Structure 1
Amino acid sequence: MDHFRPHLFPRPSFEGYYTHLTLPSSASLILIISSVFVPSVQKKHMVSITYVPPSFPDAPCFKRELFVDDIQMTPYDPLEHGKRVEEEGKDGAAVAFKLTVSGVGYMTVWEDDSVEIDVSAPSGEWEFAASVPGGVGKNRAEWIRGERDSTPEGVLVNLPLPLHWHVHSLASECTFELSISEKVYAHLHALDASPSTTTTTLKTTNGTAEPKGVAMIHLEKNWAHSFPSSHIWLRAHNPPSLNSHDPSSGSSLCLAGGRTLGVDAYLITYHAPSGTQHDVSFVPPWSMSLPVPFLSSQSLSPTHSAVLSYPTRTIHLRTSTLTHRISITASAPPDTFIPYSAPFYDGHRPNFLAQSYYAHVEVRVERRALVKLEGILGMVLWLLVGWMGGGWGERVLGFLGMSGLFVPTPSPNERGTGSTFGIRLGPWEEISRETFKGASLEFGGDVYGDERKGRADPQEGKKVR
């Protein structure tokens, strides 16, 4: 919860909250509330709402970006002067913080993790409300399952990095109501009716379609100074079995990364369907690589590789620690990506990134046992030379007459085992393999690149340059 609150001291250049709902029909609803705190810039305070029907792109999506006069981000002391402050949740929990959007509405978060959202367009063309039931340890899939205060960056969150990222919940159950004027979006009444789902009802009154029911919600935020020069983001969730009502018991994958401070770094978590014993998370330096000078698209690391291609709308990542390795492949149809603005020191830059909600993701997780620790010298040499990548590290150590410390030649009874910097390891063994459909995939900045020029923004129906 701590890093989901607004950050006031020191005040970041921007702070933004991202909410994604997967509706019963498999449609997506995205709400972004974002502020830039730099004086004398245009487009400082933004509210963005997007409804993406299950039949997109055959049917159009609905997207609006509103720039308002002010967004108040107010954290509360849960026990100020020994008394509860502000309004209380259903179970008596105190308010943690509140976002008040001028002329649009609010988002309130309580100490028990319950959330209330109520926003609407001043023109009356759309309204949206959502309620996330609270209860500590209930209805919330944390970054590390079972650790309420876990955050993607771990201890790195305390460093003065250009960008910080926190995921409050990978998946929570919520109720919602959405209304969009049929005059603006005549297809809505036919798109989110889900006859196989009893939790969704549909009413049409005075030309307004009002889908409502129970959805799965993902909550996260960014803050600091600016988005990376290039980045990707991926979010996927498979719901739990039918006999479980706890969203955290489902499986999830979430990652973000890109080029920052001269390195390529990623934050990754995976919740396995088989339970916490097979969950894995990765942070730098394991999930980090160094760019090759004069070859900006190439980077080197003994533990991490990433191939990102917006032209083909695919990503391939592999990251490992001493004992765990994850391989991720994701792709989405090219015509399903929707452009969005991103916050910077000079305001919200239009069309800086694009997201699709129709990605297909393959995940494989492997594990190997630690067999024997053989020495510290090998560890130091591996860390120094291994960054050269490929077979160069082995060649250099061989030249120094120390190749046995890097990759010892196994004896006949040790065939099939590997060794890394003096730690003898067993073979890789697959422990989890999973497919996600309808995942969210984002490309931003340079990796989005020149492809974004001339792309139509569904909000305006014209090209964005």
Structure 2
Amino acid sequence: MRLLPRLKSLLIEPLSLLLSLTPLRRVLPRQNHFYPHPGAPFEGYYTRILTTNGSTVLLIFSSVYKAPHKPSFVHFSLLRPGAGDAPGPGPGSIIVDAFPQLQEELSADGSHHTFSVNAHSPSSTSPDTVEATASYVTNPQSQQYRLHLLTPEYGELDIAVELTRRSPWVSYEPHSSPEGIFANLVFLLPLHWHVYSTASRADVTVRRGDEVLERSKGIAHVEKNWGVEFPDGWVWVQAFKHPPRVMDSESEEIAANHIAPIPSTTTFSLAGGKILGQRAYLLGFQSPTIGQWSFRPLWTLLPFGFRTPFCTERVDARAGTFELTVCGIWRKLIVRAEAPPDHAGWVPMACPLARGHGNTFAYESFDARVHVQAFERAGLGWKLVEDVWMENGALEFGGDYSFKAKMD
């Protein structure tokens, strides 16, 4: 069943890519790549929320459809701010990994306007098994997570999350993607990264039995990975400028359109690493001062790992640092992310590899400081137009880029 879409893509995707380079792109239908891609070997949905009290909430639904071991994965984390100078999650933090059965469902009319991902774990007598019943529903107005987790460590947990007021990658293009025209190569590229929202409004409630552990508002980064396989090594960075400032009242225009950036929010996100024997990055920086800037190959391509006049990188996982400089003809970004060294306090993550989710192939820190400098061309040189430090950022090293990554 999944072979037909892939064969069809061999004929259609190169043509779609060529048409996207012509004026016809304005009249061609735009695909929303956040919705399911039938035929893709794996798909994963990832949401990171920074709450008003400085906590991070993580929610992941992931499937490797033909994997022989742990083909599906559900993750929930409530990561409290650390105490003092100690790196990593603070007291009261919760980290849960579950490996239930997942099923995707499109809207009944096939319009792709609504879809859900549902999870259910068969009952188990093992005291070490997490039982999960969960759903993730997406429609044009909102995204809702509902999770019921029976865990040996934390007891019975109920999580309710609602995301509204989505901010697309490009504000005036609801279906915009970090990949730009390369998003047309759905099955001809081994891996895809789509950011559905750079800054959604989030409402979070976490209960343990009758006890409310967290009830807060926040700001959410929402993304998806899909494709054939994860790369050999990668880096991921995500940050907000301020702790979220969420308004209780909304204008009629925002309430009607459901798409509007949260005021005064600066965001940065990046993903990249080794792909097709090369190194390349996708990244975006949004701020009220300069608007939205995106960079992608060919500007961010490092052929065979060699720097170019347009892009240089420096990765030191043991030191917890990542640096990237990228420029086009008119714009330039210098990015530096730094987190605790030696992965101290970093959260281990299972990844959608061909054999399944039985691995610890990535580590994430949410104690990162992210520094972004934006420049515009001024004659033969560059003029600094924005200089931003972002606290409570996220930094991930995976595969070859993480010295602790391993298959379990």
Report the TM-score, using the length of structure 1 for normalisation.
0.69
Q: Which amino acid is the alignment partner of residue 74 of structure 1?
A: E
Aligned position for 2:23: none
| TM-aligned CA deviation for residue 180 of structure 1 | 3.5
Q: Does residue 36 of structure 2 align to residue 30 of structure 1?
A: no
| TM-aligned CA deviation for residue 215 of structure 1 | 1.7
RMSD of aligned Cα (Å):
2.3
Which among 270, 275, 295 is matched to residue 285 of structure 2? 270
Kindly provide the CA deviation profile for residues 33-52 of structure 1, in whole angstroms up to 9, marking residues without a partner as x. Answer: 1111116x110111111121
In 2, are the aligned partners of 1:165 and 1:222 still within 8 Å (CA)?
yes
- Partners of 1:146 and 1:249 in 2: how far apart? 18
| TM-aligned CA deviation for residue 77 of structure 1 | 5.9
| TM-aligned CA deviation for residue 345 of structure 1 | 1.5
Which among 271, 283, 287 is matched to residue 256 of structure 1? 271
Aligned position for 2:139: 110
In 1, are the aligned partners of 2:115 and 2:138 still within 8 Å (CA)?
yes
SS of 2:334's equivalent?
Answer: strand
Which among 433, 439, 442 is matched to residue 387 of structure 2? 433
Aligned position for 1:128: 159
In 2, are the aligned partners of 1:326 and 1:366 still within 8 Å (CA)?
yes
SS of 2:114's equivalent?
Answer: strand
Kindly provide the CA deviation profile for residues 311-358 of structure 1, in whole angstroms up to 9, marking residues without a partner as x. Answer: 100011000001110000110113231110000121114210000111
- Partners of 1:77 and 1:249 in 2: how far apart? 38
Which among 343, 356, 363 is matched to residue 365 of structure 2? 356
The runs of 5 or more residues in structure 2 that have no matched partner are 1-30, 83-87, 122-132, 251-260
Aligned-residue sequence identity (percent) comes to 28
| TM-aligned CA deviation for residue 58 of structure 1 | 5.0
Matches within 5 A, 1:32-431: 32-38=60-66, 41-55=68-82, 56-59=88-91, 61-68=93-100, 70-76=101-107, 96-103=114-121, 104-112=133-141, 114-122=142-150, 125-133=156-164, 139-159=165-185, 160-180=188-208, 205=210, 208-239=211-242, 246-247=261-262, 249-276=264-291, 279-291=292-304, 298-334=305-341, 335-368=344-377, 417-418=379-380, 427-431=381-385
In 1, are the aligned partners of 2:367 and 2:394 still within 8 Å (CA)?
yes
- Partners of 1:233 and 1:266 in 2: how far apart? 10
Closer/same/farther in 2, CA of residues 120 and 241 from structure 1, 3 Å limit: closer
In 1, are the aligned partners of 2:241 and 2:388 still within 8 Å (CA)?
no
List structure 1 runs of 4+ shifted beyond 6 angstroms: 240-245
- Aligned residue pairs: how many? 343
Q: Which amino acid is the alignment partner of residue 111 of structure 1?
A: P
In 1, are the aligned partners of 2:236 and 2:395 still within 8 Å (CA)?
yes
- Partners of 1:275 and 1:241 in 2: how far apart? 20
Q: Which amino acid is the alignment partner of residue 121 of structure 1?
A: L
Q: Which amino acid is the alignment partner of residue 40 of structure 2?
A: P
In 1, are the aligned partners of 2:81 and 2:90 still within 8 Å (CA)?
no
Is the radius of gyration larger for structure 1 or structure 2? 1
Report the TM-score, using the length of structure 2 for normalisation.
0.79
- Partners of 1:266 and 1:100 in 2: how far apart? 31
Aligned position for 1:4: 34
- Partners of 2:89 and 2:60 in 1: how far apart? 21
